Amino acid sequence: MTKTMVLAGAAAMALLAGCQKAEAPAPTQTETTEVPVETAMPADTADTAAESDPATAPHRFASWAGKWTGVEGMYVTITPTEPEHYKLEMQSDLDTKGTYDGWDSEHGIKFKRGGEDLSLHRGNGDDTGLKYLAGKKECLIVKSGEGYCRD
């Protein structure tokens, strides 16, 4: 019986040794590894997919999305839309509330309000010139006296 168990163990070891995962041979210089045409995604399909979903579209200031709070009920809510564009819902003073189209620029999000070219750019509470926002670290500034911060 001991002889049978030794032979069975040896046979099992031989079988296991033969079951090792075989590696594919490396391609030679004359071989190429091309993706078949029918399995490759057309370039225009990939571009369309990224553009159709605002969450995955390229936005330079995507981290700014959401609500930013100013003084006396002022706020700006930034929503990424098509690539490099944003919707800005804004209460910029007691009398001015509106939605504006914004777009990526070198230092922030540019937009037009009341015929004036403006830009949201990064700063801190002290940079806003508003006593209520002094000391805040993460803020967006439109101009002196108009800024919005996150707590």
Q: Tens digits of per-residue pLDDT, 5-35?
A: 454 555 545 444 554 444 444 444 444 444 4
Distances (CA, A) of 105 to 59, 85, 101: 10, 10, 13
Domain around 81:
58-150
Is residue 65, in this structure, part of any structural domain at all? yes
What is the band of 53 on the pLDDT scale with cuts at 50, 70, 90? low
∠81-87-90 over CA atoms, to 5°? Answer: 160
The DSSP 8-state label assigned to residue 20 in this structure reads S
CA distance 27 to 98: 62
| Total domain count, the chain | 1
What is the band of 116 on the pLDDT scale with cuts at 50, 70, 90? very high
What is the band of 40 on the pLDDT scale with cuts at 50, 70, 90? very low
Q: Which of 25-29, 91-95, 126-130 has the lowest mean pLDDT?
A: 25-29
Is residue 18, in this structure, part of any structural domain at all? no
Is residue 12, in this structure, part of any structural domain at all? no
Is residue 78, in this structure, part of any structural domain at all? yes
* 60-70: average pLDDT: 95
Is residue 21, in this structure, part of any structural domain at all? no
Pick the more confident residue, 39 or 9. 9
User: What are the DSSP E strand ranges found in the chain?
Assistant: 66-69, 75-80, 85-93, 96-104, 108-113, 116-123, 138-143, 146-150
Is residue 132, in this structure, part of any structural domain at all? yes
H or E segment at 16?
Answer: helix 2-18
